[in-house]
Amino acid sequence: MSSLKFTIIQTALFWEDKGANLEALAKKIMAIAEPTEIIVLPEMFTTGFSMQPALFAENMEGPTVQWMRRLAETKKSIITGSVIIEENGNYYNRLIWMLPNGELGYYDKRHLFAFAGEHEFYSEGNKRLIASVKGWKINLQICFDLRFPVWARQQLATSNKELNTENTNVAGLEYDVLLYVANWPEKRNHAWKTLLTARAIENQCYTIGVNRVGLDGKNMMHSGDSMVVGPLGEILYHCAYEEDIFHITLQKEELIKTREQFPFWKNADFFNIEL
């Protein structure tokens, strides 16, 4: 059974100052002394949660994507986090999944935060991204997506007819880790912590939430509360208010053992998501 090592960077962000954020984050990443496989940054890590995409958007060959490419190659690690991207005249809150070899995948935020007007400036995504690393599958999502359990729900790689039979096994589950990057405010941090735990329990997976700390340009406080939650809902890591760089190694054996001992996933509802 394989293991997978994540490095979580819970950090304050300079409001709408791309250069300052990239400089500060590069120092943090380069200071990581031990080997790691995936480095996770918060949502909109170059700007904070900005509603000015026309000023700060880049394309997929822009300086931030190139910055991620250089650092991923240097650290021999995957680097992920979301940034503002312009494509075909539309703006996206886009999570970039940058591999050490320079190849990348991306996920566009599906659930835009209308309460703050995000839907007025950004276009929503219409597909999930489940990345594969060392035999692990990782479902990549962004902030407000956390409130919508159907979008994260495990689906079995079987037909409805096969469901709840002995032929259905652990290997049929879609993913092993559910990962959220966020700019989630302190005033709703109870929901953040509760829903991260719920997503882990209901999907019988590891769930990782990486949030920022500090005040943003709209005087909104962020408490961080970055977390790693195990498949039984056990809290493996939690940090509030402080900047932190945390390393955690997840064990596939423990995940498989939990799913086999408590095969609740066999009773899941079969469904399709219509977009």
Residue-wise over 35-64: b if at least 16 C-beta within 10 A, else e? ebbbbbbbbbbbbbbbeebeebbbeeeeeb
Q: Is residue 245 part of a domain?
A: yes
Q: Is residue 240 part of a domain?
A: yes
Q: Tell me, what amino acid is at 85?
A: I
Q: Is residue 25 part of a domain?
A: yes
Total count of domains within the chain: 1
Q: Is residue 272 part of a domain?
A: no
User: How high is the pLDDT of residue 156?
Assistant: 78
Active site residue 75: no
Q: Is residue 275 part of a domain?
A: no
Q: Is residue 114 part of a domain?
A: yes
The catalytic position among 143, 186, 193, 205 is 143
Active site residue 127: no
The catalytic position among 37, 109, 118, 186 is 109
The catalytic position among 43, 58, 118, 186 is 43
Active site residue 162: no
Backbone angles phi, psi at 258, to 5 degrees: -65, -45
Backbone angles phi, psi at 97, to 5 degrees: -115, 95
pLDDT (tens place) for every residue of the chain, 275 residues total? 699 999 999 999 999 999 999 999 999 999 999 999 999 999 999 999 999 999 999 999 999 999 999 999 999 999 999 999 999 999 999 999 999 999 999 999 999 999 999 999 999 999 999 999 999 999 999 999 999 999 999 987 654 444 444 444 566 799 999 999 999 999 999 999 999 999 999 999 999 999 999 999 999 999 999 999 999 999 999 999 999 999 999 999 999 999 999 999 988 888 888 77
CATH number for the domain harbouring residue 140: 3.60.110.10
Q: Is residue 184 part of a domain?
A: yes
DSSP one-letter string for 145-180: GGG-HHHH---BSS-GGGTTSTT--GGGBS-SEEEE
Range of the domain at 140: 3-267
